[in-house]
Every structure is written in structure tokens, then in C-alpha cells.
Chains A and B, each alone.
Chain A
Amino acid sequence: MEKFTLLKSTAIPLATENIDTDQIIPARFLKATDKLGFGEQVFKDWRYFNDGNLNPNFVLNNPVFSGSILVAGDNFGCGSSREHAAWALMGYGFKVIISSFFADIFKGNSLNNGLLPIQVTPKYLKALLKEIEANPSSVLVVNLKEQQLLTAVGTSSFDIDPYKKTCLLNGYDDIDFLISKKDKITAFEAQLEY
């Protein structure tokens, strides 16, 4: 996993609520046996019309907006457990997702891949979306070490599990950790009674 420390970027505003992982990456693209190429399919049915033409009304197709931060509506990532959603967002170039609420499995999947979900208050999110829509060149700063998000609408501190923070800052992952616990796991298995 890549290390995550500090990120300065403009952002893309996607104010829709309850964006499910079927929208982030539709099921028909889950037939791959590797993690590559999902970025091209991210939000496929919103980005393209059925005839294959680009939908100019979808924010990712608006040349005014760019950046590696996606600012999304409440309850982002609900639905299917498909990790392909995190791979697709990262494949497209996102490194941070900001919302007022994240679904559990999506949040876990993101952190396991080095994609940082930042939860802010509904009020802050609303102000931030308004700011980006009005000033697309507005730069956001994500400081993971200090757990701070600095934007034109103010500074917001965010929560992250201390263990996950260490993993992201150092580029470690859970497999490394779990394998290091092998002796304890074997001992646990030996006394299983339930």
C-alpha cells in the first residue's frame, strides 16, 4: 500500500445522497480477475448515456472541476461489499472522499487500499459543496498526521482509528499485522471449545 501523508488538491463536488457501490462500479464490470482497469468504469452509468456518449451534465465530465478529492453527499458507499468500488475510485485518481456519512464496508475497503474517507458534519459538507461549486479552483488540504482538513470554509478535524492511521502513514496493511500474530492464532485454535 502507498503511504499517505499530506494532500493538497482541488475537489469534485457530487452532492447526491445514498450513492451505492452499484453506481460507483456497476455489477457488469466485476468480471475481472485482477484489480486493474476499474478507474475507466467508475460511475459508468452516470458518466455515459446508454448510447455510449458522455453525459455532459455529470460532474466528472465538467472540465471546470478536477482533482483527487471527491466531495459526496450523505451515506456514501452503501450497498454491496464489492471492493471494486474502492479500486475504481482510486483507479480514476481519487485519494480522498469527503462525506457526512460512510457505509461501514466501503469505509473499511477504502482504508485497506489507501483511499482516505473523511467524515465531516452535514453543515460543513453543505458549505464545502457550495464553496467548490462557486470556486472550482479552491484548494483543500488534507493533513492525515494532524487529522485535519483545511478548506476555504474552515478547518475540520476528523476521526480515524489510530491503528488505521499508522497503517496509512507507513503504508502497512492488515495482512502483515495478522501474519505477525500467527502464534497467538494457533494457540487460540488449540483451545477452541465453543
Chain B
Amino acid sequence: MKKTLFDKVWDSHVVDAIENGPQVLYIDKHLIHEVTSPQAFEELEKRGISVARPDKIVATADHNTPTINQHLPIKDANSRKQLEQLTQNCAKNKITLYGLGHKNNGIVHVIAPELGITQPGMTMVCGDSHTSTHGAFGSIAFGIGTSQVAQVFASQCLLLEKPKKMRVLVNGKLKKGVLPKDVILYIIAKLGTNSGTGYFCEYAGDVFENMSMEGRMTVCNMSIEMGARGGMISPDQKTFDYLKGKEFAPKGAELDKKISYWKSLATDKGAVFDKEHHIDASEIEPMITFGTNPGMGIKISENIPKTNERSFEKSLAYMNFKKGASLIDTPINYVFIGSCTNSRIEDFRVAANYVKGKQKADNVTAWLVPGSQNVAKQIAEEGLLQIFESAGFSLRQPGCSACLAMNDDKIPSGEYCVSTSNRNFEGRQGQGARTILASPLVAVATAVSGKIVDITKTLEPQVL
């Protein structure tokens, strides 16, 4: 039988199955952080069970962590307690932890790929919905709840129904100024926020084949925003090249052996999906959101739709936007470049390239937050830091930061923030904050102009 990439990875991890019920799926890598793990450790302790495979778990501190003065004790007592608890739980259970200050510390979905922990054909989970990021490598990666974190601790397995399969094919050539973030924002706006519920999504076609690994991570990261459990892309030469030389990636003969296996994972020609969508790349333009879910996005040159529906109107009222209006020239006081969607080196390269020779607008507070210590190091080594500093930007230390505002990086109530993060939910970036999702290019152009500008009209040829 012809199999999809998803089938091949899933089926090779099934330990057992319940008749007419879920299957026992083996998990290769379990990533944990401070927010969704304490209650799972507590559950294990309560039952007197030990962690089954501590060697398959990697921990990091990211959701709560400050982005300035990370060498000082954390001021917020509750955040400090969560981090202390993570440290204690990891030490007690012999789990590798990249805590604050460690050279490998950073956002869980940024560090695992850059360290070579994420590999094709794996099953990976984390108590965080954006675990779908790792699907960029052709792994089955998805977010889980805390009860499931405890289940993986106890057994290295999860009890799951096999999801259905969908495929999104994007073929053709992308226009100037269209980034991977625009591709996924367009897909979600077009298909809707629950179009993927019950499905695992494979992204295929020229656009993804030509996309960098970091771009693929941005796309897969937001699969959850259309409701899909995860998104994945067939591993190819780009994937293998990316992994080569990474700290925890296989090396030498072992790598060659793995690569020949990884090559066999691609979806067979003629394999059947439960649902398929075709998109022409030339339809896509730089995107921007106007509402309070990631599906409420438009091309930056378009106007907000006119819809008479209660939830839609509630959303516009929260954002203080009008039906039929354009967002161009809307003054913006906050810009955030960061989050597990867009805090990788390529994102900062795009931003720095645009910023070079320009100045940040005075009205804008711009937070540039790298996804990891490693990204921060690269920013400095490549001279990007100097470009940002000359333009009036300052770089903060790695963490989830203003994506979900669990630390001090909060957008004040009523203010707009053009953000490269993944969610524009009410209050996501702070109580009353109004989030507009966009690519790093649109975000940095906003920081320079102090208002939303149509970058397709102003883009100089050397930018992309």
C-alpha cells in the first residue's frame, strides 16, 4: 500500500493498539519546560512512579524567563519558583536541563533543531502546542497536555487515535517580499482556524522544497493555528545538510545510514490523503492580521472584510478597527521580533538587511528577542547587532518574551503591537494588548516607519 510520510513515521512507532480505540505510540524525544511540567512530575511522585527514560527528555527554561539581566535572580517570585522546581525535578530525575545562562538555553522549539536533537522520522512531543515546529524535519511532532506529559514520563508512550491526513500543496514562485510567515498566514486565512482539526498536515510543492529549513520551521510552527495537530515536510538534502555537524546529530557512517533511511520516508507517489488543498504561490502577498485569531489575516494591501457576524464584530471591537478599513498608515508603538515562529538567525538577517542605513521611529518600542543563546551569538558574530544598535534598536536576551507575556515583556492595554509571534488572541501579549501578526520584514518596516506601511511598494531590490 502507498504510504504518506505521516503514515510511515506513525506506523513505525506503534507499540500496541486497542481494538476500536487508540494506539500506543512510542515517543523518541520529549521536550519539557517550566510551565507545563511541574504538575506532571507531581503526578508521578503521587503514584510513586519514576521517569521511564530520562535519556530521551531534554528540558529548557523559556516561557517565564526575563530577557534582561538573566544573570540576576528572577524578581517575580512565582516565575522563580517554577524555574527552581524545574531545576529540582530535572536533577532528581537525571534529565538534561539547559537552564538560564547555559550556552544551549533558549526557546524549546529553537534549541532542539539547532542542537540536532530534532531529526527526521522521529516522534516528538512537548507540553506546548507549537511543538509542530519540528515537523519541518519530517518528524511527527505535536503539543500535549500536562496529563500526557506525565504519561510520557511514566511510559515513554502516549495513547492516541491516529489522526487523519491532509496535504497543502503550494506551487509556483513567491513574489518579492513574501516570507515563509506570509505563506502560512495566507494558508490559515484561506482555510480557516479549524480547517486542520483532527488532521496532521503535510506541506508539499515547489514553495516548500525551495524554502530554507528555518522557513519550513516557521510554517510548521503555525500548523496548530489552523487546528492541525502538527505539520510536516518530507526530509530532503537541505534537511540532511542542516543537520550535518550539529551537536546531537548522528555523525560519520551512522549519519550515512540514517540518511538512507530518512530518504525512504517521503510520501509515496499515489498515496492518498483524506483532504487536499492546492494553492498558487503567486496569490500570496505579504500578510497582516486585523482580528483576534490567526485566521483573521489579509494581504497588507487589502482592506478588512465586511462581515456581519457576532464573533467577527466582537473581534474588531477589541482591536478598535473598522470593517472595510485599510491598516496602512495605522500608527504603531510596539514591535516584537521573536517567538518560536520567528526568532531564528534568518529572521534577524532579514530585519538587519532592511534596517541597514535607516533609523527606528521614535514612537516605537521594539523588542528584538533571539530564540536562543546560539542565535544571539550569531547576531553578534555576523555584525547584525551593530546594524541594529546604529539604527536605535536594542537586542534582548533569549526567551518566549512578548509572545505570551508570562515575563515582564508585556504590551500595555490598548496599544497595538506588530508581532512576529503566532497568536493575536485577546490579551495574549498583555491584558488589553492588540496584536497584529506579520513577518519579520513587515515588523521591522513598521519599527522604522512608526506605522504600518505597504512594504511591497517601498521594498528596495537588494532586501530580498
Contacts and interface: CB of A to CB of B under 8 A. Distances in A.
A27 B146 contact: no
A22 B194 contact: no
Interface in A142-194: 161-163, 173-175, 177-179, 181-182, 184-185, 188-189, 192, 194
B93 interface: no
B39 A34 contact: yes
Contacts, number: 183
Given A101-B197, A178-B154, A179-B155, A86 B145 contact: yes
B18 A163 contact: yes
Interface in B231-272: 261
A interface bracket (residues with beta carbon within 8 Å of B): 35 or more
A80 interface: yes
B24 A175 contact: no
B21 A184 contact: no
A105 B293 contact: no
B431 interface: yes
Contact of A175 (B81, B143, B154): B154
Interface stretch (B105-113, B339-347, B385-393, B422-430): B422-430
A30 B406 contact: yes
A50 interface: yes
A185 B155 contact: yes
Interface stretch (A2-10, A63-71, A89-97, A107-115): A107-115
A105 B144 contact: yes
Contacts of B293: 18, 20, 78
A85 to B, nearest CB: 9
B193 interface: yes
Interface string A69-85: 00001110011111110
Given A178-B151, A181-B16, A194 B121 contact: yes
Contacts of A178: 24, 151, 154-155, 157-159
Per CB-CB distance, the 8 closest pairs between chain A and chain B, nearest first, are: A163-B21, A31-B78, A109-B145, A83-B145, A81-B143, A33-B38, A178-B155, A112-B147
13 contacts: A16-B314, A20-B293, A28-B406, A33-B85, A34-B39, A104-B197, A109-B145, A161-B21, A174-B147, A175-B47, A175-B49, A185-B52, A194-B121
Given A22-B427, A105-B224, A175-B150, 16 more contacts: A15-B310, A17-B310, A18-B293, A31-B64, A31-B79, A34-B42, A45-B431, A50-B431, A78-B293, A81-B36, A83-B36, A83-B145, A104-B227, A162-B20, A179-B155, A185-B52
Interface of B: 12, 15-16, 18, 20-22, 24, 26, 35-36, 38-39, 42-43, 47, 49, 52, 63-64, 76, 78-79, 81-82, 85, 121, 127-129, 143-148, 150-151, 154-159, 161, 163, 193-194, 197-198, 224, 227, 229, 261, 293, 310-311, 314, 404-406, 413, 423, 425-428, 431-432
